[in-house]
Amino acid sequence: MKRAMVLGIFLVLGLVLAQGRTVTLLWSGAITGPTSDVGGPYAAGIEDYCRYANEQRLIPGVTLNCIVRDDQYQNPNTQRILEEALDRSRPAIYLGYSTGAMLQLKPLINEVRLPTIPASAHIGLIDPPNHQYFFLPVSSYSEQVVALMEYINRTERNARIALVVNPSPFGRAVVDHARRAAQRLGQTIVDVREVGGGNLDNTALLRALDAAGVQYIIHQNVAGPVANILKDAKRLGLDRKIKQMGAVYTGGSDLLRLAGDAAEGYLWASSYYTLDENTPGINLQKQLAARYNRSADILNSTNYTAGMLAAAIAVEAMRRAAQRFNGRIDNETVYQSIIGMNGPNAFRPGFAVSTKAGIEIDFTRSEQTGAEGLRVLEVRGGKFVPITEPFTSALFRQVRNP
Amino acid sequence: MTDFLQNLISGIAVGCIYALAALGFVLIYKSSRVINFANGQLIAIGAFTAYALAVWMGLPVLLAALLALLLTALLGFVVERVFLRRLVGQPIISVIMVTIGLASVLDGLMYLTPFGSGNFTFPPFLPPGGLNLGGLNISYPQLLAIGFTVVFLLMFGWFFQRSVLGIAMRAVADDQMASMSLGVSVEKVFALAWAIAGLTAAAAGIVVGMVSGLNQDSLIAIGLAVFPAVILGGLDSVPGAVVGGIIIGVLQSFSTAYLDPLLTQVGLVGGGSQYAMPFVVLLIMLWFKPHGLFGTEEIERV
């Protein structure tokens, strides 16, 4: 009997060892609730990349435990989910979401030294204090808006610009930097307006901006409100007078679908490749969407790409941590791997455009933005088409720390 | 002057959408003294039903919209039969709590469908652009909203003033026990009120979907955003819902056009006064008329 028990114990231990270790990666974000049109595909991107990583054994001997939770864009939910995960599963890395929740959680994340890759690209997350463990996958909202202002300056001097932003920390993130950039570029920020979802009519807004001599509207929002403004501008004939453009979450397939013809000519700053381009990341995206039966809407969403990029960075950091620290994958070793992801060790998954130096994703202890390159794309014939080469905003670094 | 008129027309059009959404509140309150916190969910279900019929089943949009109106009315009827029927004669707060629970359940169920997160649009069936009248522009979906509102207003005006069922509904709203003792079926009245509320909610959802696309969160938000309109007009007044909706719509349009630029000039950047102004005006209004513009003022003899 004793012999059988000992044999049994050895058998169980053997099975456990054969299966390898489990390491946790946590994401919480808005799968439902406000901005879930962004969060839904983003979550799908993370889930699919995790499944792929486990199937392909991207981290040898390690099974990823990907926890994907819906916080409904509610900060208390986000906090509870993170605290619960810290207590129960001790994640090695955290993929966050909303600006508000991330700003709120900065001190906690710093205290527990948890490497964090948020979906929010609010520059305040990588600004002091408590910023050490935050890493933005792509350039910040502010940098993208400043890049658009630089793009305007190429053809139009002393432009008069209005910012139309989401009524949230996410939307307001860009205002101060845009003002500082405008001063240096000789542009005028004529007005800053907050517009949320469900904006049923934008006639008053557009006419007021037109009366104030606005030539360009820069949006920092999600696609829905922007599409409504584009449709109203077209109806009022203001699409020929006012050029509209936006950062990060304003563009993509959602905008094309919602705005239809009215999207023609809309400019979008984006670090991501489009689905038409032949890159390893985009090809993987197509392959995984097919393998896991994702809908066409998910496949076409740039937020699906964004989720995959965030997960890819996390998985790569874990893989490098295991390789460099004798299989030790925890928040400390993952942090060391992320800040070492530069120079010849930069990461090239093929989801985001590369800078002139050929670098796609790189981080250091002090440079916490991954993809610093971006392109301006324009809607032509119902598609986003790149109209610039990848570039990095020159002015942003000056206005960030004046 | 053109700008003023344009802002006025746009405000009226938006106000009509609010009015449609507000009618659902009013009809249920009018018959049962209950505020339905699941109104936004009915709006979303109506809109997504129309979308599913039009896109998935390939029906013409107008036919899909008509069927969605009927199906959402049926849903309202079923909800009353299943959840609220047993609460006749019970404290109002119990019924209100059921509507809050219902909102949560419907929310959760919708998230299980493909409509949970994402943006959708109806197949185009109206001409692009809008109607231009001497430099004043209004989009076709907005015209549709105005049309829907006028039709519903006339229909309900007649229904509550002239039809036996409408008068029975008013009697039930006034005193459930007295109505029952006179042979009025309170249960039928409640079921009918919920069915009609489902109908108006679906109409609002379909119009919102045509104007700004379909997004669950935005549609549900519209359902509750019309509270100021409902309270301003008077909780139990059908014309009040329409007038309240239009006042709020115009107020928002004017505050965006004229107040936001002033706020910008004094350094209060961000605009967004359209979100606050309805509540500011509502507070002032209720100071003078606590029952709203057209609400029934109840006088109790002591």
Predicted local distance difference test score (pLDDT) of residue B201: 94
Q: Is the peptide bond before B91 cis (omega within 30 degrees of 0)?
A: no
Q: What pLDDT is attached to residue A329?
A: 97
- Return per-residue pLDDT of chain A as tens, 402 residues: 566 665 566 555 554 444 568 999 999 999 988 888 899 999 999 999 999 999 999 999 999 999 999 999 999 999 999 999 999 999 999 999 999 999 999 999 999 999 999 999 999 999 999 999 999 999 999 999 999 999 999 999 999 999 999 988 889 989 999 999 999 999 999 999 999 888 899 999 999 999 999 999 999 999 999 999 999 999 999 999 999 999 989 999 999 999 999 999 999 999 999 999 999 999 999 999 999 999 999 999 999 999 999 999 999 999 999 999 999 999 999 999 999 999 999 999 999 999 877 889 999 999 999 999 999 999 999 999 999 999 999 899 888 876
Residue B269: what pLDDT?
Answer: 61
In 3-state terms, what secondary structure has residue B269? coil
With contact defined as beta carbons under 8 Å apart, do A342 and A317 qualify?
no
Is A31 within 8 Å of B272 when comparing Cβ atoms? no
Burial (0-12, 13-18, 19+ Cβ within 10 Å), A87: exposed
**Contact residues, B window 5-34, toward A, CB-based 8 Å cutoff:** 6-7, 10-11, 13-14, 17
**Pick from A197, A235, A236: CB nearest B215:** A197
> Cα B136 vs. chain centroid, distance in angstroms?
26
As a whole number, mean pLDDT of residues B44-65 equals 95
CA distance B232 to A342: 60
Measured between CA atoms, how close is B208 to chain A, in angstroms? 7
Of B10, B114, B264, the CB nearest to A201: B10
Partners of residue A175 in chain B, C-beta under 8 Å? 269
Tens digits of per-residue pLDDT, B140-187? 888 988 898 889 888 888 888 888 888 888 888 777 788 888 888 888
Residue B36 sits at the chain A interface (C-beta within 8 Å): no
pLDDT band at B69 (very low <50, low <70, confident <90, very high): very high
- Closest chain A residue to B259 measured between Cα atoms? A208
- Of residues A286, A283, A231, A282, the one with CA closest to residue A255: A231
What is the structure's pLDDT at A144? 96
Among B5, B112, B113, B119, most A C-beta atoms within 10 A, so best to mutate, is: B119
Q: How far apart are CA B68 and CA B66, in angstroms?
A: 5
- Amino acid at position A255, single letter: L
For the cut 60, the answer to whether the pLDDT of residue B42 exceeds it is yes
pLDDT at A356: 73
A47 contacts on B by Cβ (under 8 Å): none
SS3 state at B234? coil
pLDDT of residue A397: 87
pLDDT single digits (tens) B125-139: 888 778 888 888 888
